Amino acid sequence: MPRPAFMTDASSAPAIPVTIHRGDYRRPEWQIPDIALDFALGITMTRVTAALSVVRAAPAPAPLLLRGDGLAAAEVRVDGAVWNDWRMEGGDLVIDLGHRDAARIEVDTLIDPSANTQLSGLYASNDMLCTQCEAEGFRRITFHPDRPDVLSRYRVRMTGDKAAFPVLLSNGNRVATGEGAGGTHWALWEDPWPKPSYLFALVAGDLVVNRDRFTTMSGREVELGIWVREGDLERTHHAMAALKHSMRWDEEVYGREYDLDLFNIVAVSDFNMGAMENKGLNIFNTRYILADPDTATDADFDGVEGVVAHEYFHNWSGNRVTCRDWFQLSLKEGFTVYRDQSFSAAMGSPAVKRIEDVRLLRAAQFPEDAGPLAHPIRPDSYQEISNFYTATVYNKGAEVIRMMATLLGAERFRKGTDLYFDRHDGEAATCEDFVCAMEEGGDIDLGQFRRWYEQAGTPKLHLALAQEGRDWFMDVTQTIPATPGQETKAPMMIPLRLAAFAMDGSGALLPERLATLTDAVQRIPLGQFAARPALSVNRGFSAPVIIDLERASGELAWLAAHDDDPFARYEALQQLMLDTLVAAVSGKADDREAVIGAVGQTLEGAVNDPAFVAEAALLPNEAFIGDQMVTVDPDAIRRERLALQMAIGTALENEWRAILARSAPAATDPSPEAKGRRRLRGVALAYLAASGLEDVPGLAFAIFSQADGMTERQAALATLAHGDSDERTHALDIFYQRYRDNPLVLDKWFQVQAWSQRADTVATVAELAQHPDFTLTNPNRVRSLYGAFAGNQAAFHQADGAGYRLLADLVIALDPRNPQTAARMIPPLGRWRRFDEGRQLLMKAELERILAQPGLSRDVTEQASKSLM
């Protein structure tokens, strides 16, 4: 009698905090060169028959350990015969194969995709079936070692009802199809490239395709397909263009060519992350595929382009060369983010792209590095790996790659990447392998540089100018703050681009040079000048560090106007704004006039480079202002930032109005120039709104109503949402009625309200959580309301703790259904150390309330308990 064989539980294993350590890595005892999977597909019941050809890889006779999560084994067959020498250990299947060195193992599992609310493994989304296996989802489909250093060739047969699932997709090439009994059909897919289980994918559903072709540099013809639901096809063209550009770019810049005859992308609405790089079958959150000018903003278009590129680039940095274990995640993610950033820079404005990337790093990664969840880009331990898909691993990881590229220069960096790809093709590699390839290919010693992989925390560089006669120096003191488990740190190797200018306009005194810092205290000679120069440091943000350098507002204003590095110009103006805001928040004298003057200066470039001017004119966000303070005062920050916005809005009213008076570019014009103009119009409108001028709600409403695309429409709506006008109510209504059937646009409706600077935003968010269109089943919807809210500093940190309670309630409600997404909502509560005592107590109380819930997932347990430390 076969034992009952249904998936035992839709939720992950209960929380037993087991910590996994990087140092405990052991090579796999068994390899699996070939896997055949047979799926009998159904939304509520899918039967999986897995046949694994296993080969012993270690000398000692160890049993075969196959991981399982929520699975039951009905029967195990070895070389075709029923085998009884197996047992379950927790969710795992352990098969004793005695002294056999090779065997063919067959196991059947039954799963209910409709009950899989975690969106990990095989699940149903809008009547379609799809998979998400990274990091450990494959074990929710069938028993398997499910570790990235076990690489197999996959053969996948899928059978399903032809009407329900007319399209059957998996990795690699479709080698056969046919009809079956009872209205079923089947397809057989083979992927010639050995891959880890986390890259397995399958999709079955009623989908339509946007087809195209690409000819690779060696003349291989590749068929491209973007699969979406009927009605969404018209919104896939931008993604397709991005895919073709990415394919060409990777050939030209890294010499990397695509390696299958087919490249498919599928868009699904319910997805925990942005997208997934499964071999030959990328699966995307609809948010990063669907875009047209009526429903997507310019930022959304850029997001599509960047994520399509990111997943495509993984084909080499991730798939052809994969990770040995999950501690090496940054090997594929940091490098691939660096690659997608470089690609997007090449497609648009490099300066603006750099500004955006740095702003994101400061908003998402710096706080992580400064809080209880800080970890190195190559972590030393974890309880739940899903919690380590972080801004540190991704974005700081990209900065670390960028620093190596800076130290080596373009040509030697390319030698290093060539060596890395060639040497490790087909392997599961480590971060150390990457650094070794850089050292050899680039002929450089990166011994000390490796500390970037080991030490958490954002380094701080205290800089001071010193003078001896006519000789000038920069004295640098490097400190790295203590982080959990790392009390003391050794100095890092830091590439610092710098230049010095004479403020009398006579030009560069010190042309740009690259200084490589290695010591805790170091003196860098700058040269001989008659007077103190204006110092331009960390140009292009050459290192992910915090610079502490006192510069007078006059010097910053001068640099904001004259520095030849656009990023440094942006930084100078931001620093000027920041100094002013921090002074105001601390009740000290501020220099508003200098800021107004510098913004006014910058606006003079509005016609030539509107995109840059728009970025530069934006005030630093509230959280970043808070990061400069010993104790964050959210209310004072909100107040003073609004006051400065109002002062700039009022003083430069004519300039802002002039920007809005010029006609808007057509929404269908995607050129960088048009995008820049739209962005600047949004900034202008926000400044006018902040200045409280009476006609502004009317003006915003007119822009909202007449907008021919989403960029202008959303900017106007967001501006109105901050205020208290009839136009606000009216615009929100119109927007809702017009887009209520488009989930991605409806997300924006939730988002702009959660972002609002109104005093009643906490109450509004609580109300919206009860709205019939709000649902916990869709991660995009959850993020659009609660993710946006948690980023609204003054609202989330409302002094009575109502914001904290709201977020904790969400975590508690969401955890049983989707622990990964629930756990991602916790870090904002973990920032308690940065706030006053009252808020600290309230935040900790909510973390404790979360932890007191029975049956909490491993994901949430790890994040909440570490956040309390």
Residues that are catalytic: 311
Q: Among ligand 0A1, Zn ion, none, what does residue 820 contact (CB within 5–8 Å per kind)?
A: ligand 0A1
Nearer to Zn ion, 289 or 614 (CB): 289
Q: Find the binding residues for ligand 0A1 in span 243-272 (CB under 6 A).
A: 272
Cα-Cα-Cα-Cα dihedral of 398, 404, 408, 411, to 10°?
-30
* Residue 333 vs 399, nearer CB to Zn ion: 333
Q: Which of 820, 857, 863, 865 binds ligand 0A1 (CB under 6 A)?
A: 820
Q: Which does 330 bind (CB under 5 to 8 A by kind): ligand 0A1, Zn ion, none?
A: none
The tokens describing 652, both together, are 């430069």
Which residues partner with 144 through β-bridges?
67
Query: Residue 339: what residue type?
Result: R
Does position 134 interact with ligand 0A1 (CB under 6 A)? The reply is: yes
Residue 857 contact, options Zn ion, ligand 0A1, none, Cβ 5-8 Å cut-off depending on partner type:
none
Q: At what angle do helices 237-254 and 410-424 cross, to 10 degrees?
A: 100
DSSP character for 541?
Answer: G
DSSP assigned state of 144: B
Cα 454 from chain centroid (whole Å): 21
Nearer to Zn ion, 398 or 717 (CB): 398
Burial degree of 648 (CB within 10 A; 0-12, 13-18, 19+): buried
Rounded Cα–Cα distance for residues 690 and 495 (Å): 40
Is there a contact between 238 and 252 (Cβ–Cβ < 8 Å)? no
Q: Is 400 exposed, middle or buried (0-12, 13-18, 19+ CB in 10 A)?
A: buried
Residue from 224, 276, 408, 762 that binds ligand 0A1 (CB under 6 A)? Answer: 276
The interface with ligand 0A1 within residues 300-339 (CB under 6 A) comprises 310-311, 333
For Zn ion, what does the binding mask look like between residues 315 and 334, x meaning CB under 5 A? ------------------x-
Q: Which is nearer to ligand 0A1, 318 or 441 (CB)?
A: 318
Contact between 189 and 170 under an 8 Å Cβ cutoff? The reply is yes
Residues 6 or more apart in contact with residue 104 via CB below 8 angstroms: 51, 52, 53, 54, 78, 79, 80
Q: Which segments of 196-285 are extended strands (E)?
A: 202-205, 208-215, 221-228, 262-268, 275-276, 281-285
DSSP class of 858:
H
Q: Return the ∠ at Cα 573 (arms to 570 and 575), rounded to 5°.
A: 105
Residue of closest CB approach to ligand 0A1: 273
Q: Which does 274 bind (CB under 5 to 8 A by kind): Zn ion, ligand 0A1, none?
A: ligand 0A1
Please report, to the nearest 10 degrees, the dihedral formed by the alpha carbons of residues 622, 625, 627, 629 taken in order.
-130
The CB-of-310 to ligand 0A1 minimum distance in angstroms stands at: 6
Residue number, 329 or 660, with CB nearest to ligand 0A1: 329
Distance between CA atoms of residues 306 and 292, nearest Å: 16
275 binds ligand 0A1 (CB under 6 A): yes
Between 681 and 783, name the residue whose CB sits nearer to ligand 0A1: 783
Q: Which is nearer to ligand 0A1, 277 or 300 (CB)?
A: 277
Tokens 């057509």 correspond to what residue? 666
- In the stretch 71-110, what mask flags binding to ligand 0A1 with x, by CB under 6 A? ----------------------------------------
CB of 325 to ligand 0A1, least distance (A): 15
Tokens of 439: 């050292």
The minimum distance between CB 137 and Zn ion, in angstroms, equals 15
The entry of ligand 0A1, Zn ion, none near residue 389 (CB within 5 to 8 angstroms by kind) is ligand 0A1
Min dist CB 132 to ligand 0A1, Å, is: 5
**Residues touching ligand 0A1, count (CB under 6 A):** 15
* Binding site partner of 580, from Zn ion, ligand 0A1, none, Cβ cut-off 5-8 A by kind: none
- Contacting ligand 0A1 (CB under 6 A), which of 11, 109, 132, 711? 132
Supply the angle between the helices 410-424 and 431-442 in degrees, to the nearest 10: 130
Does residue 857 interact with ligand 0A1 by CB under 6 A? no
Tell me which residues touch ligand 0A1 (CB under 6 A).
120, 132, 134, 272-277, 310-311, 333, 386, 389, 820
Tell me which residues touch Zn ion (CB under 5 A).
333, 336
